[in-house]
Amino acid sequence: MAWRFLLGGIATISLIAESATAQLNPITSFSRIWLEWDLKTNTQWAPNAVDPTAQPDRSIQIFKFQPVFPFRLNDDWSVLTNTVLRFISLPTADLVIGLSPEGRPTLLDWDQRSQAGLYDISPKIFLVPDIGTDFTIGLGSSLVVPVGDGAIDSGKLSVGPALLAFFHRGPLVLGARMRNVWSVAGDSDRADVNRMVVRGLVRYQLNPDWYLISSPIIVADWTLPVGHGWNVLVGGGVGRSFRLAGQPMQVSVEGYYNAVKPQVAGEELLGNWSIRTQWQILFPN
């Protein structure tokens, strides 16, 4: 009888532990060291109106370091911070100036190359109420700080509101983070900023190790003519959860189709496809 009572107690404790784990909020219950690499292929460095010889044979690479840290204020409120640091490699070109047959300076060609550097830093902070185990909502603010050398970053200090909303139950997480920022200071020679960024998330856990994920980024540049400033991605991929030296981690590989692309001088410069890889190191709070 004693051993049956002991086994029953162990089973009960195990079920309680599993129930508590299942009810963890996937958004606010973990700190994350989040690394991401995006590759945009078949990109054209400039419209043909600028360089008639430009071809869609270049690529854009974006490496993001974006730590996420939630802090519990009390039983009813938490604060969630998410700071994004971007290192970007962009196709660009230098002017090749020579002399015309008449001896006058003239543009002979474009020397195409890739320019890499640090882009804007984007810290965001959200105030998140505790509204149960199925939903997470948060309202906050976003700041964009230009820290590059001027050719890579936006050159503008921008601010604006930020919002997150997620539904999570069982194996499913569904929701989005969004923000809109306006430039308030910076280089007067640079273009003003009025940009919305929405990053959706659909994640389905197939088993303890594997999951399906779709996390498209939608961008709207409101400074461009109507319909010319949208970039809409469609796609997804697969990820795996595992432990390395006891540390929980996640990796994923995703592919996205550029269903809607922004236009520059009436031309679409981005290619049709983007590839993304992510690596997250999780720290339960």
Check which CATH number belongs to the domain holding 95 and give it. Answer: 2.40.160.40
In-domain check, residue 66: yes
Residue pair 123/98 in contact by the 8 Å Cβ criterion: no
| pLDDT for residue 203 is more than 50 | yes
In-domain check, residue 14: no
| pLDDT for residue 92 is more than 50 | yes
In-domain check, residue 257: yes
Note the pLDDT of residue 113.
Answer: 80
Number of separate domains in the chain: 1
pLDDT band at 255 (very low <50, low <70, confident <90, very high): very high
In-domain check, residue 5: no
Question: pLDDT digits over 230-252, tens only?
Answer: 999 999 999 999 999 999 999 99
In-domain check, residue 104: yes
Helix (H) or strand (E) holding 78: strand 77-99
Question: CA 14 to CA 6: how far, in whole Å?
Answer: 12
pTM comes to: 0.84
In-domain check, residue 9: no
Greater confidence (133 vs 22) lies with 133
Of 155, 139, 133, 119, which is closest to residue 38 (Cα–Cα)? 119
Question: pLDDT digits over 112-130, tens only?
Answer: 788 888 999 999 999 999 9
Of 125, 123, 127, which is closest to residue 157 (Cα–Cα)? 123
In-domain check, residue 52: yes
Residue numbers of the domain that contains 277? 27-284
Residue pair 30/282 in contact by the 8 Å Cβ criterion: yes
pLDDT-wise least confident of 137-141, 151-155, 266-270: 151-155
In-domain check, residue 21: no
* Number of Cβ within a 10 Å radius of residue 274: 23
